[in-house]
Amino acid sequence: MSTDRGATVHFVERLTIFFYRKGERDFYDWHMKTTTLPLRNLMNRSPSRAFLLIPFVLAWLAISPQARAVCQEGCLTNQNTVLGDDALLNNTGVNNTAIGFEALFSNTTGGGNTATGSDALYSNTTGDSNTATGATALLSNTTGRQNTANGAAALQANTIGSDNTAIGAEALDTNATGSDNTAIGVAALLFNTTGINNTATGAFALNGNETGNNTTANGVSALQNNTTGFNNTANGYQALASNTTGNYNTASGQGSLLSNTTGRNNTADGQNALHNNTTGSFNMALGENAGFNLTTGSNNIEIGNRGVAGEAKTIRIGKQGTQTATFIAGISGATVPTGVAVIVDSSGHLGTTISSALFKDSIQPMDKASEAILALKPVTFHYKKELDPDGIPQFDLVAEQVEKVDPALVACDERGKPYSVRYEAVNAMLLNEFLKEHRKVEKLEATVAELKAAAAKQEAMNAKQQKEMQVLTAQLEEQASQIQKVSAELEVSKRAPRLVANE
**Strand 267-269 and strand 81-85: pairing?**
unpaired
Reported in sequence order, the residue ranges of 210-305 that DSSP labels E, i.e. its strands, are 216-218, 233-235, 250-252, 267-269, 284-286, 301-303
Q: Which domain holds residue 432?
A: 368-481
Does residue 208 form part of some domain?
no
Q: Give the pLDDT confidence score for residue 499 in this predicted structure.
A: 60
Q: Give the pLDDT confidence score for residue 11 in this predicted structure.
A: 44
Rounded to 5°, the CA angle 155-247-224 comes to: 40
Does residue 432 form part of some domain?
yes
Q: Which residues pair with 420 in a beta bridge?
A: 411
Does residue 446 form part of some domain?
yes
Does residue 112 form part of some domain?
no
Q: Give the pLDDT confidence score for residue 345 in this predicted structure.
A: 79
Around Cβ 117, how many Cβ atoms within 10 Å? Answer: 28
- What are the residues whose beta carbons fall under 8 Å from the beta carbon of 30, sequence distance 6 or more? none
Instruction: Give me the average pLDDT of each 10-residue run along the chain (503 residues).
Output: 43 43 39 36 42 47 44 68 95 96 97 98 97 97 97 96 98 96 97 97 96 97 96 98 97 98 98 98 98 98 96 94 88 85 83 89 92 95 93 96 95 89 93 95 95 93 91 90 87 69 59
Task: Name the residue among 137, 164, 136 with its Cα closest to residue 150.
Answer: 137
pTM listed for this prediction:
0.69
Does residue 262 form part of some domain?
no
Does residue 201 form part of some domain?
no
Does residue 406 form part of some domain?
yes
Does residue 79 form part of some domain?
no
Angle at which helix 2-21 crosses helix 36-45, to 10 degrees, equals 150
Q: Give the pLDDT confidence score for residue 133 in this predicted structure.
A: 98
Number of domains in the chain: 1
For residue 350, give the DSSP letter. E
Q: Give the pLDDT confidence score for residue 396 in this predicted structure.
A: 96
- SS3 per-residue string spanning 36-84: HHHHHHHHHHCHHHHHHHHHHHHHHHHHCHHHHCCEEEEECCCCCEEEE
Q: Give the pLDDT confidence score for residue 489 in this predicted structure.
A: 82
